[in-house]
Every structure is written in structure tokens, then in C-alpha cells.
């Protein structure tokens, strides 16, 4: 009988703890989304200042950017350090679905056989800004453009 009396309060306590954990996780997710919503447009506006800057392999300054150099430069201006590699950036944040994209999220593509090899910043309305080696400069492109649609591999939220 004693075991049954101990078992029920233990189950009740565990249930309460799990519920509190889930509520706190949801509250933190909501806070992160609010911050992403508020800082994302500012980040996008800043990124657009570099439209037309030439593409430069391994470039990470306004004298020339490669894709991950561009994204790391923009995010660094907002106090967020990102690695200078598209794959490194892919593993740096919270994975999100395409349907959850907000301005300021990072979008990733496989443009070569070696996996994640291109990154850009989602700007809203199905478009992203990136340093394009094909175009030779920082540009805005639609995610539905066939080349990128076929190569899309995921998105990450690093704004918190």
C-alpha cells in the first residue's frame, strides 16, 4: 500500500515538471520568433546595402564577398558570429521548415556534389539575397527560380 501512495505523487510530480518544461519551451520559442520578426527586417535592410558588390571567392568584406562571407559579414554587424562556410552556417542555428521562413533566416542550397555549398538570407516574399558566383555580384533571387528550387536543402534561424 505504501508503494502505491508513493507512486501516485511521483507520477503527478513528473507530469507537472514535464508540463512546465513544455510550456517554458513554447514561451522561449515565441520569444525567439518575436525577436526574429523584429530584427529580421533590419538585417535585411542592412544586407540590401551591398546589392551589386562584386563576388570574390573567399571574400568577406565590401570589397568583395563570397556567399558565406556575405552572410557572416551581415550577421556580424548584428552581433552574431557565423563561420565562413555555408555548411558551418547550416549547423549553427535552429533548423526551420520552408513554411516557417522569416526575413533574416538563412537559406541553404546544394550547388555542387559536396553537400551544402551555397547560402543566402531570406528577405521575404519568397526571395533571398546572396553573393552569386554565377551573376558575379550580390543579388536578390526568387526561391522558386528553377535552379535554386531544385537545389534547396533547408533553412536555419540564427536571430534570437
Active-site residues, by number, are 67, 118, 130
* Set of cell numbers at residue 6: 508513493
Residue 93 burial by CB count (10 A; 0-12/13-18/19+): exposed, middle or buried?
Answer: middle
The single-letter DSSP state of residue 53 is P
Give 99's DSSP letter. Answer: G
The C-alpha cell at 65 is 564577398
Q: How far apart are CA 45 and CA 114, in angstroms?
A: 32
Cβ neighbour number for residue 42 with a 10 Å cutoff: 14
How many CB atoms are located within 10 Å of the residue 83 CB? 14
- The residues with which 129 forms a beta bridge, in sequence order, are 121, 140
Amino acid at each position: 500500500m505504501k508503494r502505491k501512495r508513493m507512486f501516485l505523487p511521483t507520477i503527478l510530480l513528473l507530469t507537472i515538471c514535464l508540463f512546465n518544461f513544455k510550456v517554458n519551451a513554447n514561451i522561449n520559442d515565441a520569444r525567439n520568433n518575436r525577436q526574429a520578426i523584429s530584427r529580421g527586417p533590419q538585417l535585411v535592410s542592412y544586407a540590401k546595402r551591398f546589392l551589386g558588390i562584386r563576388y570574390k571567392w573567399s571574400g568577406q568584406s565590401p570589397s568583395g564577398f563570397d556567399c558565406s562571407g556575405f552572410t557572416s559579414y551581415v550577421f556580424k554587424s548584428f552581433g552574431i558570429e557565423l563561420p565562413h562556410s555555408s555548411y558551418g552556417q547550416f549547423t549553427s542555428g535552429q533548423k526551420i521548415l520552408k513554411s516557417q521562413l522569416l526575413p533574416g533566416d538563412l537559406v541553404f542550397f546544394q550547388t555542387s556534389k559536396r553537400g551544402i555549398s551555397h547560402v543566402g538570407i531570406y528577405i521575404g516574399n519568397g526571395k533571398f539575397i546572396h553573393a552569386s558566383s554565377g551573376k558575379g555580384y550580390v543579388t536578390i533571387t526568387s526561391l522558386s527560380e528553377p535552379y535554386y528550387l531544385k537545389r534547396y536543402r533547408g533553412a536555419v534561424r540564427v536571430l534570437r
